[in-house]
Amino acid sequence: MLRRELPPADVRRGWLIRLNAQGVAPSSDGQGVLERDVAWPPQALRLGFWHDEPVALSIEAGGEAWPPARDWLAQISPAESEVLATALQVSHWERDHRFCGRCGHPTQRLAHEFAMSCEQCGLRAYPRISPCIITLVTFGRDMLLARSPRFPPQRYSTLAGFIEPGEAVESAVRREVMEEVGVEVGRVSFFKSQSWPFPHSLMMGFFAEATSRRIRIDGHEIADAAWFTPENPPELPPSYSISRQLIDTHRRAVATR
């Protein structure tokens, strides 16, 4: 697990994860993205501690064809995925907060936390995290799954959307389901959450029980939606996604009913 405490500023060696605009460098054994005991380049950004040794991120300019981050998330462990998700979000934050959003002055990174600070006006910019709900709507044993026009052909998934300013999480579940498929839901229960660093979402997973089966799709965000039995699902999202974990958890729970 990543220990979320920044190594001292004079530490210049330890684990390193290397990103460029295309993807993430494989470690020398090809098995993951974390390389052990290497000298950090001058621009390295400290992330924390991994197995009690300091870990940093290096953003590199080269155009080497490293595998995209999504491919890595499909094959590395959940613990290593957490480091990768952190590295991706810290890299976006560092890139996007070089100047103060309030007064335009150049910012500087603080040594002891993830904060870009403006000396001119005092504003601090922290890594942005965008909370989203993701929900599997059920009716008895059946699951409501939908496809977005952006999905690979045949792929269906759970419903998801951003939480709006001032909105409670449970209200966002009810609103998104109503907006996207026109279905009213009764009981809503929390499942678990997952960081989704594209670029900075925090997915909060819920089960939602529909009070009726009639579907009315919006035709924009959703290209099709339908009820599926646990025994005959369509093509589903990859197993590391919280969407798939919601679906698999429900299918296991109703398998003996």
For residue 90, the minimal CB distance to Zn ion (Å) is 21
Note whether 103 binds Zn ion by CB under 5 A.
yes
Q: State which residue, 120 or 212, has the beta carbon closest to Zn ion.
A: 120
Note whether 108 binds Zn ion by CB under 5 A.
no
Note whether 118 binds Zn ion by CB under 5 A.
yes
Note whether 121 binds Zn ion by CB under 5 A.
yes
φ, ψ of residue 181 in degrees (nearest 5): -130, 0
Note whether 220 binds Zn ion by CB under 5 A.
no
Cα(56)–Cα(53) distance, rounded to whole angstroms? 10
β-partners of residue 17 are: 57
Q: State which residue, 105 or 192, has the beta carbon closest to Zn ion.
A: 105
For residue 123, the minimal CB distance to Zn ion (Å) is 5
Pull the structure tokens for residue 11.
Answer: 């530490």
Q: Burial letters for 217-227: b for 16+ Cβ neighbours within 10 Å, e otherwise?
A: beeebbeebeb
Note whether 110 binds Zn ion by CB under 5 A.
no
- Contact with Zn ion (CB under 5 A) among 4, 105, 187, 252: 105
Written as one string, the DSSP assignment of 95-164 is HHTSB-TTT-PBPEE-SSSS-EE-TTT--EEPPP-EEEEEEEEEETTEEEEEE-TTSPTTB-B-EEEEPP
For residue 113, the minimal CB distance to Zn ion (Å) is 18
Q: State which residue, 107 or 201, has the beta carbon closest to Zn ion.
A: 107
Written as one string, the DSSP assignment of 15-64 is EEEEE-SS-BPPPTTSS-S-EEEEEPPTT-EEEEEETTEEEEEEE-----
- Contact with Zn ion (CB under 5 A) among 11, 123, 169, 217: 123
Q: State which residue, 41 or 122, has the beta carbon closest to Zn ion.
A: 122
Q: Which stretch binds Zn ion (CB under 5 A): 8-16, 95-103, 127-135, 220-228?
A: 95-103
Note whether 115 binds Zn ion by CB under 5 A.
no
- Contact with Zn ion (CB under 5 A) among 75, 120, 229, 239: 120
Written as one string, the DSSP assignment of 177-230 is HHHHH---EEEEEEEEEEEETTTTEEEEEEEEEES-------SSS-SEEEEE-T
Answer yes or no: are the C-beta atoms of 19 and 58 closer than 8 Å.
yes
For residue 119, the minimal CB distance to Zn ion (Å) is 8
The Cβ of residue 62 has, within 10 Å, a number of other Cβ atoms equal to 11
Q: Which stretch binds Zn ion (CB under 5 A): 18-26, 54-62, 102-110, 174-182?
A: 102-110
Q: State which residue, 115 or 169, has the beta carbon closest to Zn ion.
A: 115
- Contact with Zn ion (CB under 5 A) among 2, 69, 100, 203: 100
Q: What is the binding site for Zn ion (CB under 5 A)?
A: 100, 102-103, 105, 118, 120-121, 123
